[in-house]
A and B are shown apart, each in its own frame.
Chain A
Amino acid sequence: MSVPDYMQCAEDHQTVLVVVQPVGIVPEDQFFRIYKRIASVAQVSIRDSQRNLYIRYRHHYLPENNDWGDFQTHRKVVGLICVTTCGSGKEWPQTSERFHGQKEVFGATLYDSRLLVFGLQGEIAEQQRTDVAFYPSYDDCPDVEKKVEDFVESIFIVLESKRLDRATDKSGDKIPLLCVPFEKKDFVGLDTDSRHYKKRCQGRMRKHVGDLCLQAGMLQDALVHYHMAVELLRSVNDFLWLGAALEGLCSASVIFHYPGGTAGKAAGRNPSAAQGQAADAGKRHRPGALTTNGISADTSSEIGRAKNCLSPEDIIEKYKEAISYYGKYKNAGVIELEACVKAVRVLAIQKRAMEASEFLQNAVYINLGQLSEEEKIQRYSILSELYYLIGFHRKSAFFKRVAAMQCVAPTIPEPGWRACYKLLLETLPGYSLSLDPKDFSKGAHRGWAAVQMRLLHELVYASRRMGNPGLSVRHLSFLLQTMLDFLSDQEKKEVTQSLENYTSKCPGGMEVITLPDGLRLHPVPFTKLPIVRSVKLLDLPVSLRPHKQKGLMENSMSTKSPFIYSPIIMHNRGEERNKKIDFQWVQGDVCEVQLMVYNPMPFELRVENMGLLTSGVEFESLPAALSLPAESGLYPVTLVGVPRTAGNITVNGYHTSVFGVTSDCLLDSLTSVRTSGCLVEVIPSLPRLQLSTSLPRSAHPLQPSKEELSSSVSVQLFNGETQQLTITLENIGSEDLETLEITSKISNTKDGISVTGLPISSPLRQVLKPRAETRPPGSESSKTDYNHVKMLEAVMTFKYSGGAGKVEGYYRDLTLGLHVDVEPSVFFTRVSTLPATSTRQCHLLLDVFNSTEHELTVSAQNNQDLVLHASECQRMAIQVDKFDFDTLPQPDQETVRYTSLKLLEEERLHAQASMINSTLGITWDIPSVRRKGEASVEGVLNQLVLDHLQLAPLQWDVMVNGKPCDCDIIADCKVGDAVPLEVKLTNRSKNTVGPFALTVVPFQDYQNGVQNYDLQDAVTFIGSNTFYIDTVNPSEESLCLGALLFLYSGDFYLNIKFQDDSVGKEPGAGQGKELPLSWFGLPSIHIRAQEAPMEAGA
């Protein structure tokens, strides 16, 4: 006896064994259908007696085991049912022959046998035979159960007779010695007449009768017989049989104590039987009804039973004892093992796990000699099952794993990878390993990493050998994701390498894999490859940031705290994540999310197809591929995408593809990720302007970098130099530009660039080219810091909007910063004036200093160039027409009212200086560096100079012969002709002037310092030589007419002398002040009188 039946339990001792076997050719499925129907008759209550007979069916039983039938009668095959197919009468003899042959196998022990013949019809089938039943087909056999019941009853009759036969067999007759197969040779030549031998025979027989009583449903009798057998056998030290008797005692007691059975799943093992019994429960006793079915009128038997029956504690003690006796015999290993299993089942019911584990521990060590691989698997599986039964889940998992490994042992020609995989999966709970990665997301993994990793490796390998690479990828991904912290560098390499190998055949994805047995393998997102530390949604670049029109903005400011500032920050991540970020994204524009990631692997990690997972609006993610160096520190990665619709967008996570496995990593399940919010508003699309300038961009920001600038240019200029800057704006967005507003702001000087707004309604992608001429100012302050480089900064703002975003009230700003470094060029150290010959002109003397390091040329309008060496100072004189500053535009009343006087004065001075500058047109030119520019006199002009440069408010025009005369003009006239002389006064002052008296005095200049005023003979006046001019109102003219008659030819000068009559005539009237002399700058007139040719001849 070498093959243990691990399913045995104590109550099997009360069953009779019936073997059901196919004979000849019987289709397997048909056989098992019939077998099931037969097996449903597991319990038969016997007519006329209130006893039950329990039947154990086997379709396969080793005859070798049958030899142990005397030792424990439930091992003895007492019934045989053969199932056969018989097509025709011809085959019948052969079939019959086979049936008899089969009977021979178990012949010695059989009480009865039956043959079920299917398919045979006709006369043979007609014959009435008790041991053969004929059925036309497997589908048409309604009374199989009935036939089996009859058969069982016939077995019972034999059993009962045997029991009675043996039980009453104590009358002096020689009792045969029952023995187990291996004992037979030991008793050869033994003295059969000794007391000892007799006792042994008696004891063994007593035990045998006990078995029969138990089978026949006479529990009480069985207990009595067992007790007697124990005493008899103990006295002769027949340990093997003593063990058997003790075990019998235990079995009977167990049956008494635990009518529900100890197998735990008796109903499961034989569901049809359970159903059948339930169906006719009224007729029969239920399997657990032993106590009731044994009730008889005699109550003393009840008492006796209770006395003979072992207590639950004693059962275990006796089992222990029995097993220790079995242990003495090497050949009784199977018996011992089965006894252990039975005891464990009893202990499991009693919930005595510790003792059960001792029995199991013992069972592990029972050596059954050479076991086949299949037997080993069976043994480990049953150990696992039993450990599970007593609540030792870890131990159970351990043995299950051993069983799984046994399925694919190298000695097995066809390894059962499927079975191995299935068994391995069953071990998962024992190692507290869940295959759902969600269970691992909470902090660091805590578990038996080494053991779990081993198991995962085995799962991977088994699933691969099963030919399911998808499964291997899933398990391997799981291993990598959850056990990363426990993998050594070498292991990390190996695992990823094999993962890449697998994924090359079967890429891993995010779908749930459902195994045939219903287990669902959840996808494993690689949240640790790479590890993401923070997720930050980025605002658009400054130039693309949308702004809300004022007035609609205010309500967006919402603070929950009543404090304006509080150092306490609420650490509530969940809330933070759902918080709306206070900037906007724009539909159609590329938006960025920055992740801080790092690579925990000891090698370069290639992450492909990394993109964002979003919800809320349609979002076009633009995936990126990145390569992270080995064990990189935090590494910023920017993921981009374009929202295609407007609304609120939520960034839920990101997706990656690493080692051929695609993962969707959701931020909700990543507790270690810091984020400042993932919800942002996407506003409708806006146009997009691109700005380019003719000057190169500058990197360095403006000094007062209060605001962020989209771009800036910087240029270095000499003072007075002009630089043209062309700004090109291009609409590169998809929306029409509808409004554009340009403003400029100087950051550290009060004047300079001014750009006026130009509202533009442009068609799509029109290129706009407004020209903004910037003129770096600053010459006014050059006196004090002429050798310092001055900095000027200005910001131009282009505010534009259009499309759907404009409807919502959004616009965009584009700012351009201008940075100008001004180096000094030329400046004037001193300015003075000299009167010129004409009253309308004067000479301006400028001391020009060249503060550059280059030679430069200074030129003014109508003047010679002046060459100045570096740091050289020279004087240049420029003849200029006097200026009429009154023609400058006057500031209007509004401005005057709101501006301080000082400012107005400055304004006026600036205007005057500009006028002077533009008239002078002083330019400089540095040929060596090809730079040129203007020089301004502003700032060096003092009041005196200005007065000199200003035209008098009273303007005198003298006309001789109808021609205007001034200093250098020589008026021609003929001797003897009357020369009309007009004096015109234009009053451009603000007050009424006059009346005046003018006296014209002619004289001759001999050009040698002598002036001859005595010209009464040469010149005569027609009329008076004195003109009277009446009062002249502001901006009015007054004209005096006179005439001269030259009597001789020659050069004459007229000196017009002036007398102010108003003083004398109207004292107290007038303006109460004397008009300054410079107002009366009347020109001296040069007249050349010539002889008329005709008269000269006469």
Chain B
Amino acid sequence: FRGRTDDSEDVKLRFATCQSLWNQMKLETEQVQEDLNKQLFDNLVSFLRRSHSESQEKATEWTCQMKTREIPTAALVLGVNVTDHDLTFRSLSEVLQNSVTPYIALLEAKDCPGIKNLMQKLIGQLMNCYVDVDSFEDEDYVQVSQNRIRCSMTSLINWYGSVTKKTDSETPSKKRTSSSRHWQSPPVVVVFKDMESFTTRVLQDFIVISSQHIHELPLVLIFGIATSPMIIHNLLPHSVSSLLCIELFQSLSCKEHLSTIIDKLLLTAHFPFKLGEKVLQVLINIFLYHDFSVQNFIKGFQLCIVEHFYSQPLSVLCCQLVDAKKRVNSLSHSQCENIRRLPSFRRYVESQVSEKQIALLTADGFLKEVIQKLLEDLHVYHANYMPVLRCLHIFTSSLPKYPLGKQIRELHCACLENRVWETEEYESSLQLARMLNKSDLVTMLQQCVEILMSSSGKEFDKTVEKLKEFLTQFQKLEGEAFQERDVSVSSQKELQKKTDLYHLQKSLLELKESRRSKKLTKFEVLRFELVDYIDSLVRNYLVPADHKTLHEIMYFNTASVLREHLNAAPRIALHTALNNPYCYLENQALKSDGGSISNKAPDICIVYKLHLECGRLINLSDWLEAFSTVVTGAEGPNADAASSDQVDDVIHARFIRAVSELELLGFIKPSKQKADHVARLTWGGC
């Protein structure tokens, strides 16, 4: 795209990389979403089939007549992250369309202020479905029906009857495929996307009306619920809710969703692009404290990618290793200079011997070789980092109080932030790990081995062996443990034999002594060894990324940009602009100490400052006077008495402008309570 203006030449390449990377990630997230929803959708589909078939069977039995007044209803509890629901519903309707019924209507509260609108919308959507199914039915029929549908249940039923009949009789050859896919008379599914925001009346009416017609029209309702299933009973009176046959479905919580997404996107070596610690923190915080929306998280992530590729010219190299190596060879001189300017690379250069330093700083060819090597290192580091991180997580996640966090993302953040083994939390978690019991340890070890086996890193062969060794040793211990117990039991017996006080005391002391000295049973020794080994692994592999050379290429670390664009604070910006214009207009005259502003500030700032001193109502003439005093004070002595009239007019005009600007900004509004007064709309400092 033409957007990038920086000097580098491989802009296009960078953009292409960015796009392809983003597309990959998007696919991945969609995949994740689909997988996560699969379970839920399967349940729903089976429910729909069941409800439908039941109603068909029961329709014949008279005894069930009463019961069939009930509309089968699925209550779908989706959680508070409303923004994600849309996607869920879209895929849901897709799934249903493919497997159960072509007749789906998605209704949103904002489209349906009344029952009439609701019916209109519903019928419109259903008719359109119908058009979709066999698109070359006579257009006239559809046109006419669309225009003059008397939006009532009867017309809907007529339509349904005609449609199902048509599929049966008229186009048997064409319909065979679809009818094999769908049921003989597929149910009509009505989805209420946001049940809470529907007006009660509309819902009630709709339910009551449709329950009258449930025989002719196999209707199934799906309620999308953001809060809790109780809301159905809160919204609908008993007489109405008794017409529903509700089954509850719970979607996956958004937190789990997020964890899987982070797992798939960040904690893999597949994607070269990584998030820095602060950035990740910001994104997670927005998620946890603002919206719980996975969608927004992904959006933020996308912004990170774009921002990274936009601002970092070296991000050309942020791609798969093979490509990166090729690209390194074709780097231009200016790009080489860019690399030399990277702080992490400078550190690297400084650690080299002097001849090499010179070579690195002058010869592009040599530099490129080194870069290739360094990139390779970086990739290896990532490949090793992830499995070890997971292993560590397995250990720490089962510790009481979770000193290093419950979720792997917290651990990840901790590791990115600084050397994790230097933190207090790590210390305490090792302490705790030294007290784990055996069965836990064994299961953990097994999990670790699995993780390390599945990872592709070659270096882990030894580690795996070592861990397996630990495992077998633990298992061996099982046998020895019995013996040990025997020993202790015998000592107990000895203890009981001694009857006189002196001996008892002595033996107890001995026992105590022995406990202290050879307290370490074999198991404990082994446990210590294991923990130490894990510790060494951590020290080896979980080095924070910003200690690595060339990490700038892959890590996006400017959290401030992200926060600015995603989680902006317009009020604060306004407030600082009004209170401290020096922040923006860097003029010495505006510089002030403390909370005050000088009287040379822009008009609006002065007017704002003055208005802060007033109560609910502000007298305009007082205000004007104060303003003109301040302004004339600022303007200097030349404003002498003779020309005061003229000056006053200008000041008056400036005052009017400033006040109307404040009105536009929403600080004041005209008030009718008193002549020439305005009402203040804010409270306190801002």
A-B interaction? no
